[in-house]
Structure formats: structure tokens, C-alpha cells
Structure 1
Amino acid sequence: MARNQSRNGGGKRYPRSARVGETLREIIAEDLVRFDDERLAFVTVTGIDVDPELNRAIVFFDSLAGEDGDEEIIEALAEYRIRLQSSVAKQIRAKKTPILEFKPDMAIRSAERIDEILRADRERHGKS
């Protein structure tokens, strides 16, 4: 079998960093639920971007608090960073564990803003 073909007969292989990112997302999301910290009560891990060398991973999140809660959430996640990295190290099979960095998911927030604008525009035209 060719090295860059999947077992199901061909096509591109799923990039390693994407596979690791998805695994990290699952592990971190599960751990966040276990933390008894109200700052993280409504935080959702939306995605993880892992560099190809697996040195760093950006953990993207969203929450019901929106932008107003970002600073407090980033502070809480930073406090738990070592614990999260330890959990990741125990659960994945890799030579090294990426250093975690936390950022709000601006793509989701941009989509929400666009949706709000479109909804307001529909309401304005529908009522005119």
C-alpha cells in the first residue's frame, strides 16, 4: 500500500496535526467539565490548531459570557494549563505534549455578528 494512501483505497490522509488537534479538543473539553470553577462553567472548546511539530497548540473557545468574559476565562485556563497538559500527555501517544495557548474563537463571534446584522435587516425590511 502506498504510504500516502489511506486504508480505504486512496485519497489524502488526514493530517497528523489535525488528528492530534481533534484528540486534544476531546481531552480538554472533558477535563474542563470536571473542573469546579464557575469561570469555566459555560466555556466550549471550539477547535484546536496544532503546529506540525506538535510544539504548540492554540485552544480556541467560546462562552455564553462573550467578549466580556474572555479575560477571566483566559486567566482561569492559564491557571489550569499545566494540569490540562499533564492530562493530554497521559492520554495521547506522542513523544512530546504541545504547550497550550488559549484564545477566543473569533470566527464564531464574527458569524454571530453577521447573523445579527442579517436578522436585523430582515426585520427592518419585513416591517417596512
Structure 2
Amino acid sequence: MSKDTKQKGPSQRMLRVGELVRHALAALFARGEVEDEALRDIVVTVPEVRMTPDLKLANAYIMPLGGQHAERVVEALNRNRKFIRGRIAPQLNLKFAPDVRFFVDTTFDEASRIDELLRSERVQRDLGDDEDQD
């Protein structure tokens, strides 16, 4: 395979299946079907699901509402992976149901960190210098 034909990002199929899995997980969590003490009274959001190219593994990034106890929630979801896979498989209409692994979604933290940097005095001073030169 030449350098030009290598894919830079996920394929359309990977994105489409990732969205299917994300919707199925969100519906499952909304119904409260996963019974685990760590998940009691916790609302879980699923901002993103990334599929591997063979569609056999789904990396689900989750965040509990409010962001509290995220690690504990991820551990509970990973403990119940087989149950979750069995519940979402019929909704996916795929030849093989992907194995789902859960991770804490850190994109909100990263966005906040970038926002904070952009508002910092040092960056504002640099931006002010550019405006003065116009």
C-alpha cells in the first residue's frame, strides 16, 4: 500500500457503526438496565465511540453527568461489558457484535484547559501586540 492510499482517519463505515453503538449505549444507559452499585443514580453520557477498522472493538468514551466519580463509573461499565454487549447487539444489525471498552472522556477537560490558556494574560498580551501593528 503506498503512502498516498493510506487512510488518515476513520472510514465512513467506522464512523457510522460508531454512531450506531453510541446511540445503542445511550439508550441502554437511559433505561438504567445496567445494575451496578457504582451506577446507581448516575446519568452517563456517551459523547463518542471509536471503532477499530475491523469493527470488532468499540472504544466508548463516557462521562457521568457532572463529571464526578468518572473512574468508578468506567470500572463498573467495564465489569459489565459482556452484559452490555448482549443488550446492544440486537440493535446494531451487524454480523458480529463489537466488544465494548469504556474510557473516561477527557475532551471537555482539554477544551477547558485550552480555553483557560487562551484567556491567560500572556496570550492576551501577545494578541494585543498583533492588533497594535495593524
Alignment gaps of 5+ in structure 1: 1-13
2:83 is matched with which residue?
A: 83
Deviation digits for residues 17-69 of structure 1, max 9, x if unmatched? 11110010000011112226326x13210100001211111001123453x62
Structure 2 distance, partners of 1:83, 1:38, is: 17
Paired residues, what number? Answer: 109
> RMSD between aligned alpha carbons?
2.5
2:104 is matched with which residue?
A: 104
The TM-score normalised by the length of structure 2 is: 0.68
2:40 is matched with which residue?
A: 38
Asked if 1 retains the 8 angstrom alpha-carbon contact of 2:46 and 2:60, the reply is: yes
The TM-score normalised by the length of structure 1 is: 0.71
1:7 is matched with which residue?
A: none
Asked if 1 retains the 8 angstrom alpha-carbon contact of 2:50 and 2:58, the reply is: yes
- State the 4+ residue runs in structure 1 displaced beyond 3 angstroms: 116-121
Q: Which has the larger radius of gyration?
A: 2
Structure 2 distance, partners of 1:65, 1:76, is: 17
Alignment gaps of 5+ in structure 2: 1-10, 126-134
Structure 1 distance, partners of 2:65, 2:91, is: 29
> Residue 45 of structure 2: SS of its match in structure 1?
strand
Query: Identity over aligned residues, as a percent?
Result: 31
Cα distance, 1:81 vs. partner? 1.4
